Amino acid sequence: MANDISDMTDATNMESFFEQLSETYSEAFKRNLDAQAAFADQWMESMEEAMSEERLDDASEGAVRAYEAWMDAAESSFERVGDALEGEDVDPEEFRDIWFNAANRAFKESMSTTAFAAATGQNVEDVLDLQAQMNEAAQDTLHGMGFATTGDVREVGERLVEIERRQHAIEEKLDKLLEQEE
C-alpha cells in the first residue's frame, strides 16, 4: 500500500491510500468509543466504591450542613423583607450578599467532606486514565497514517545516542591502534 502522497500517481494508489486512511480512522474511532465506555464504567465503579457507608454518612452530614446554610439565608432574607415592609431602608444588595454567602457556605460544607474528596480523587484518576488511553489511540492513529509519533522520535533519539556512544568507543580504539603503530 502506498503511504506517501508523492507515490500516488494513479487512481489505484489514491484509492489504496484513502482506504488505509479510512480503516485507520475507523479503528481509532472504535478505540475512542471503547475508551469512553471504559471511562464511564470506571466512573460508575469509583462512585460505588467512593460511597462506602462511612463516606455516605459524611456526605449526608455535609448535605445537612449545606441545607442549614440555605435555610439560614432564607430566614435572613425573610427577616430583611419584614424589615423593609416595616419601613426600614433595606439595600437590595443585602439580599444578594445573603445568598452569595449562603452559597459559599453550602458549597464549602459539601466540598469539605471525605466523600467529596474521594469522589473527586477517583474522578481525576479516571480522567487521567482516559487521557492516557486517548493519547495512545492518537499515537496509534498517527502511526497508522505514516506520521512520526512522539514514541518514534524518542526511539530515534535513543538510537542516535547509542550510535554516537559506539562511534566514540570505536574512535578511541582506533586512536590507540594508530598510537601503537607509530
pLDDT digit string (tens) for 123-175?
Answer: 888 889 888 888 888 888 887 888 888 888 999 999 999 999 999 999 999 99
Residue 58 has pLDDT above 90, yes or no: no
Claim: this prediction has a pTM higher than 0.75: no
Query: Where is pLDDT greater, at 177 or 120?
Result: 177
Flag whether pLDDT at 13 surpasses 70.
yes
Distance CA 70, CA 105 (A): 9
Does residue 1 carry a pLDDT above 60? no
Q: Which residues contact 151 (CB under 8 A, 6 or more apart)?
A: 139
CA distance linking residue 140 with residue 142, whole number of Å:
6
Q: Which residue has the higher pLDDT, 25 or 68?
A: 68
- Over the range 60-87, which residues count as b (16 or more CB within 10 Å of their CB) and which as e? eebeebbeebeeebeebeeebeeeeeee
Q: Quick one: pLDDT band at residue 86, thresholds 50, 70, 90?
A: confident
Cell (9 digits) for 105: 457556605
What is the rounded CA–CA span in Å between residue 21 and residue 43? Answer: 32
> Could you tell me which residue, 17 or 131, shows the higher pLDDT?
131
